[in-house]
A and B are shown apart, each in its own frame.
Chain A
């Protein structure tokens, strides 16, 4: 069977992915482009005995890359040399879309043009003469409708025919860039061919054009061949100087002008004819009059974000409950099957609880990503960035950073893991990094029970206010630290905000489901493996070393002694009292064992540092546990305060207990609250950060956040103590 490499290329929002989904169905896989986190979508299709390996390239406006998506798309084309490019264009804005097409044609790879969304154009009474366009551009042009699959078969058949005939190479399109540039390009071409520059992998004229455009990626590739590179640079310098002197312009400006001129000359041949003067963007414009209105825009935006949130956390909570029940059942079954002891404890507390905690998030993540995919595919996400860009800009971020912030807990609840993953929509690596590093400050769903507990323990009448304060604290610290990061470690000008507002479209369900599943599956695979290891580690730290035999014996004796007092002659009340006492012994044993364990010893050792913030060894253990997952803080505090197993959701008993402890003041609570809100992100988030950036930044995030948290917590505790003393 023949095999062909096919690349699907086109502008963002041109409907490429819909065509990709229609061609490949479920035979898709997603990975990352090497070195960057732009997703790589590949799929297979078999048509007439030909196996097609189709790659859906990230959307691009130009082959002189600007965003990471464009770098990925360009590199794929020049490194992989597909046998044929299917260039999908949005027929609604043919002129701009053809700008990219021209650049593809200059590469000399066989190309088939798909005039997508042709139905929308027809509806407006506009006709595009695709035959004429085909003869002028000298490539096959086919009309398609991605949503219905119309023209899909013709497009792919034509692509196969073209690839087989052209065998991967055609004559690159030649566009004249005016006398000055053409002369320089010719000289450069000669140099390139003479020295077999870059092994002749790319059309000589194309490489020359990139040099004139000052394409930093191609130029850095060329630097490896010093001599040739120098000769080319000299020609570039000459012509740049000439352009400056005679026309007060630069070569890249001239190139853009000529490209648009070329397109205009083609379209002027009567390609487009309008039967009436219906404006294309009319509906979108009318929607935008409301949705991006100065007054209503932000209100609606808040409503949408909030609604999305409520939907996710109420609807998502249902399957989450099922999963919890399932893991509870699994835990019970394991408890019954495995005899009591270390192995049981490892399986139930270590593995099932740990992995279950991660997988329990999956429904939430599925919902969250479904909503995001909807907002993105419908075109609203671009408006969110547009409306909020000014505010985010002040913090050195980008309008598009808002969405990850909200997902991570900008409105209470949420989770930094999908938040970190959603930063993929950010174009600039610096803004993306700053966003990722500041996301963990927000009030995620796991911190909420901790906040509620501490609130209940020390500020019983101000529950909602405490929660609200935590949200404010999260946002303030996130935005301020983003500002600080952007002017220190991640320095650099804010990236230009030159963004298309795509027309509103109703997304296809298939596309949404595929998008959602891809991301969720990534999460399950990646977080699932690491968390297992960490759960076991933490379990071990809180279990070993075990209490010496003698001490265990002592607790046993106490229990036996009590048990002996249990006789039938006692009243029910007295029995209950004895049982209560036995429970206390169990709790004391658990508490003592915990103190004796590695985590306990660490907690005690840390007291010398943590006491400045008012934390004793028990709090320290809880905080160490909170590094695995913040919910653990409540249950470990429970164990440490000798309450045995504490349900993270039902925390009343613990808060009573805390209040009763004389060492526990409201200052301790306030300082702990600040610390928990801000210190190192949980381990799943750290893994997500490392995947999106590097382990270096993940480590930075652990250390830096913990320091910030510590400093602020100490500040709260010490200043608070001073004020109390004065009074």
Chain B
């Protein structure tokens, strides 16, 4: 029922599942190489002091990315 939102708009501690990664080329490949593929569940665990970049927990490790990159990732929030 919930809508797909961009990862940028997630709040700290929210969990979500990746619906799609819109980035193409090198950036898209890097994002996917790091484990951000469709159906991956992750949690936003923090944001840097100036709210950018954002830190995520997935597959037993912590990944950070800039909001600019987060824009390319569509997610569905978990209940």
Contacts and interface: CB of A to CB of B under 8 A. Distances in A.
Contacts of B24: 250
Nearest to B35: A96
Contacts, number: 131
B23 to A, nearest CB: 8
Contacts of A497: 53, 64-66, 69
A394 to B, nearest CB: 10
A605 interface: no
A96 B48 contact: no
The main secondary structure of chain A at its interface with chain B is helix
B49 A61 contact: no
Nearest to A498: B65
B5 interface: no
A297 B25 CA distance: 34
A496 B60 contact: no
A277 interface: no
Contact of A288 (B25, B28, B46): B46
B10 interface: no
A498 B48 contact: no
Contacts of B57: 281
B54 to A, nearest CB: 10
A269 interface: no
Contact of B34 (A64, A393, A399, A500): A500
A499 B48 contact: no
A235 to B, nearest CB: 19
Interface in B1-58: 21, 24-35, 37-38, 40, 45-53, 55, 57
Contacts of B21: 253
Interface in A40-71: 61-62, 64, 66
A98 to B, nearest CB: 10
A93 B60 contact: yes
Contacts of A298: 49
B66 A500 contact: no
B35 A257 contact: no
A292 interface: yes
Interface string A272-305: 0000000011001100100010110110000000
A387 interface: yes
Contacts of A95: 35, 59-60
B64 A501 contact: yes
A96 B26 contact: no
B78 interface: no
B49 A294 contact: yes
Given A281-B57, A292-B55, A96 B34 contact: yes
B66 A64 contact: no
Given A66-B29, A292-B48, A386-B53, A281 B60 contact: yes
B33 A64 contact: yes
Contact of A498 (B45, B50, B69): B69
A500 B61 contact: yes
Contacts of A382: 64
Nearest to B38: A257
B32 A253 contact: yes
Contacts of B65: 496-499
B35 A260 contact: yes
B48 A387 contact: yes
A75 B53 CA distance: 31
Contacts of A253: 21, 28, 32, 37-38
Contacts of A281: 57, 60-62
A390 B37 contact: no
B28 A250 contact: yes
B63 A499 contact: yes
Nearest to B60: A93
Contacts of A250: 24, 28
B8 to A, nearest CB: 14
A214 interface: yes
Interface string A86-103: 000000111110010000
B24 to A, nearest CB: 6
A214 B25 contact: yes
A284 B25 CA distance: 33
Contacts of B51: 390
Contacts of B52: 389-390, 393
A615 to B, nearest CB: 42
Contacts of B32: 252-253, 256-257
Q: Taking each of B25, B34, B38, which has the highest tally of chain A beta carbons within 10 Å of its own beta carbon?
A: B34
A213 interface: yes
A496 B64 contact: no
B31 to A, nearest CB: 6
A391 interface: yes
A501 B63 contact: yes
A96 B59 contact: yes
A267 to B, nearest CB: 10
Contact of A292 (B28, B46, B68): B46
Q: Taking each of B30, B32, B64, B68, which has the highest tally of chain A beta carbons within 10 Å of its own beta carbon?
A: B64
Interface in A489-513: 494, 496-503
Contacts of A64: 29, 33
B30 A500 contact: no
Given A253-B21, A257-B38, A292-B48, A496 B33 contact: no
A389 B48 contact: yes
A253 B23 CA distance: 10
A474 to B, nearest CB: 22
Contacts of B62: 281, 284, 288, 500-503
Contact of A99 (B33, B38, B55): B33
Contacts of B49: 294-295, 297-298, 387, 390
B61 to A, nearest CB: 4
A62 B26 CA distance: 12
Contacts of A256: 29, 32-33, 37
A99 B66 contact: no
A92 B61 CA distance: 8
A388 B53 CA distance: 9
A120 to B, nearest CB: 11
Contacts of B38: 253, 257
A62 B29 contact: yes
A304 to B, nearest CB: 15
Q: Taking each of B27, B51, B61, which has the highest tally of chain A beta carbons within 10 Å of its own beta carbon?
A: B61
15 contacts: A61-B33, A62-B33, A66-B33, A253-B32, A280-B60, A281-B60, A284-B62, A288-B55, A294-B48, A386-B55, A386-B64, A497-B66, A498-B69, A500-B63, A502-B61
Given A281-B60, A389-B53, A390-B53, 13 more contacts: A62-B33, A64-B33, A95-B35, A96-B60, A99-B35, A252-B28, A280-B60, A281-B57, A496-B30, A498-B27, A498-B64, A500-B63, A501-B61
Give the top 10 A-B pairs by smallest Cβ distance, nearest first.
A256-B32, A390-B50, A501-B62, A62-B33, A93-B60, A93-B61, A497-B66, A294-B49, A498-B65, A390-B52
